[in-house]
Amino acid sequence: MGNSQSLSRPKFRSQFLPKEQAEIDGLFDALSSDRHNSETSPRSFSLQALKSHVGEALPPEMVTRLYNGMWRVNLTGRAQGPSQGVSREQFTVSMSHLLKGNSEEKSLVILKMISATEGPVKARQVQKFTEDLVSAVVHVLTHRQELRGWTRKKTAGPPARVQVLAAQLLSEMRLQDGQRFRGPQCLDHDCDQAMIEDWVFRVPHVTTFLSVVIHRGFLVLCSSLDLATLVPACQVEQGREFESFLDVLSVIYLNSQLAREQRHCWRLLFSSQLHGQSFSQLCGRITHQGPCLAILEDHDGHVFGGFASCSWEVKPQFQGDNKCFLFSIAPCMAVYMHTGYNDHYMYLNHGQQTIPNGLGMGGQHGYFGLWVDADFGKGHSKAKPRCTTYNSPQLSAKEDFRFDKIEVWGVGDPPETQLAKGKKSILDVDPETQILLEASGRVRHSEGLREVPDYDNPKE
């Protein structure tokens, strides 16, 4: 009953600016004039009218949820007839709450999207809503051709990435006893309005995904949605055909963990698919490239990696800072931040005989949270019970694993030194020669001879 009272305040004011409200009114006029409204009043629209307007831009399940969320907004306190459609006031209130409202207002409409009954809902109902929401985001971005260079990778077999990301979002919910939601054993728990409100407040993906679904599904107020910070542009070497083993939901999840200035673009630095099974090539292509994400898939299908917040350098010491982290994508999505126990954030070495050669993050020599051996295709993730640097568990299916697929993506704009134009030396053409020279401690004299272009006065 509290929900109805909260949504039926007589002094409700739309939070839209005048131009935005005009656009919302225009959408309502289009919906209410649709030919599918024969059974509703002249100033309302039916579910069929909404489905007809949206077309194939959204899955039918999400269109129905959105309609129910609007239709169940009770502004009068009187029972609604089965043929009564969504009125202008209901439409405006719902859209205002979902797109402009605070956590309380959003949660009230979300509850009505989940269930027709008043009061608490079951956690399994919230789970189904979350899966529908995540699925709708992928659907609408694909339909509107706004994947920004990423392909819609179809995951074979359960659990699909939709379920994995939905499970991650749901894991952030706090149950009534204060514990986090932990899997199937929690599905019969009651979730009241306060829990949903807290969840919406602490998990911004819920609000963001709802905005994407509405803005891009209804094609309304599109200028207020900045997709560049949600889905980064995918940049690959010009002329190269490439399909990442990452799907767009994995990209969205990892991108949300980065600093805002790093989210607009991912640059492919290395791929075993394009550049071969070579550790020297890997080193030559990822050093001095700024912050980057390294992602690999082991032979058992586990997908995981690490974020390097600083440029990789080949040297026998640990490097990096406390902005680095490890992560898992499959079979579950999770991010593991630094613990403060030590500063073993990043390690990259090659061509030495007395110390380990490879790429590592966290832990210590021989016991890294993530280790890619210089003997390409081998690695380990040793964490018993947890990695000391990042508090991460074993990321791979087996402690010592084998892999064929690895990708490294630079995030954000490249360092200015990488933008310098000029003639390429043999070291640019052959990264293996470059990295062996650096590993031997010799100076790259040709590097200092290059003229750095004047970016303030670019030449035509």
Two tokens, residue 27: 């959408």
> What's the average pLDDT block by block, 10 residues per block, for the chain (460 residues)?
43 82 95 74 88 96 97 73 82 95 95 92 95 96 93 58 94 84 84 94 95 96 88 89 91 96 96 94 96 97 97 94 97 96 95 89 95 96 93 97 97 77 47 54 42 36
Q: Is residue 251 part of a domain?
A: no
Q: Residue 446: what pLDDT? A: 38
Q: Is residue 29 part of a domain?
A: yes
Q: Is residue 441 part of a domain?
A: no
Q: Residue 437: what pLDDT? A: 54
- 89 and 220 in a single domain? The answer is yes
Are 265 and 235 within 8 A, CB to CB? yes
Q: Is residue 308 part of a domain?
A: yes
- 67 and 192 in a single domain? The answer is yes
- The candidate with the shortest Cα–Cα distance to 90, out of 202, 197, 14, 189, is 14
- 220 and 280 in a single domain? The answer is no
**pTM, entire model:** 0.85
- 158 and 282 in a single domain? The answer is no
Nearest-5° angle of CA 254, CA 321, CA 271? Answer: 45
CA distance 308 to 235: 19
Nearest-5° angle of CA 124, CA 128, CA 130? Answer: 110
- 275 and 220 in a single domain? The answer is no
Two tokens, residue 230: 């949600």
Question: What CATH number corresponds to the domain at position 64?
Answer: 1.10.238
CA distance 85 to 88: 10
- Going along 18-158, which residue ranges are E strands? 44-45, 86-87, 121-122
Q: Is residue 403 part of a domain?
A: yes
Domain enclosing residue 388, as ranges:
257-416
Nearest-5° angle of CA 236, CA 242, CA 243? Answer: 115
Q: Is residue 311 part of a domain?
A: yes
CA distance 19 to 50: 22
Per the listing, tokens 């949206």 go with 54
Two tokens, residue 17: 């600016």
- 60 and 199 in a single domain? The answer is yes
CA distance 177 to 146: 41
- 79 and 154 in a single domain? The answer is yes
The number of distinct structural domains making up the chain is 2
- The candidate with the shortest Cα–Cα distance to 296, out of 273, 267, 322, is 273
CA distance 28 to 49: 11
Q: Is residue 324 part of a domain?
A: yes
- 91 and 144 in a single domain? The answer is yes
In one-letter notation, the amino acid at residue 377 is G
- 15 and 114 in a single domain? The answer is yes
Two tokens, residue 312: 């990789």
Q: Residue 283: what pLDDT? A: 95
Q: Which of 416, 433, 451 is the last residue of a domain?
A: 416
Q: Is residue 30 part of a domain?
A: yes
- 59 and 186 in a single domain? The answer is yes
- 29 and 104 in a single domain? The answer is yes
CA distance 398 to 396: 5
- 160 and 276 in a single domain? The answer is no
CA distance 17 to 132: 30
Question: φ and ψ at 384, to 5 degrees?
Answer: -125, 105
> Read out DSSP for 171-204?
HT-B-TTSPBP-SGGGTTSEE-HHHHHHHHHH-H
DSSP 205: H
